Amino acid sequence: MGIQFVIVLILAILCVLYFLKDILRTAVSGSSGCGSGCGSCKSGGCPVKTIEAIQADLEAKPRQHSA
């Protein structure tokens, strides 16, 4: 086993951990629908939250049927 193989193995493990960090962070923190890296969840402008609010508002209003 050469030094190049060890370096490649370490880099591969680091790459896998990098891609899993967001998934693990979401699983541990219990995120409620906001994507990682969005940045707007804390500011209150999360697109997912906005869509959920619009859907809830539409479901609360009775639909008017035209005859």
Specify the pLDDT at position 31. Answer: 53
Beta-carbon count within 10 A of 46 CB: 19
Residue type, 55: Q
Please check the confidence at residue 66 and state whether its pLDDT lies above 70: no
Tens of pLDDT, residues 9-61: 999 999 998 888 877 776 666 555 555 556 656 666 677 778 888 888 888 87
pTM of the model: 0.39
Map tokens 């995120």 to a residue. 31
Question: Could you report how far apart the first and last alpha carbons of the chain are, in Å?
Answer: 79
pLDDT at 22: 74
pLDDT on residue 39: 61
Q: How is the chain split into domains, by residue range?
A: 1-29
- Write out the two tokens for 50: 């906005």
**Structure confidence at residue 63 as a pLDDT band (50, 70, 90):** low
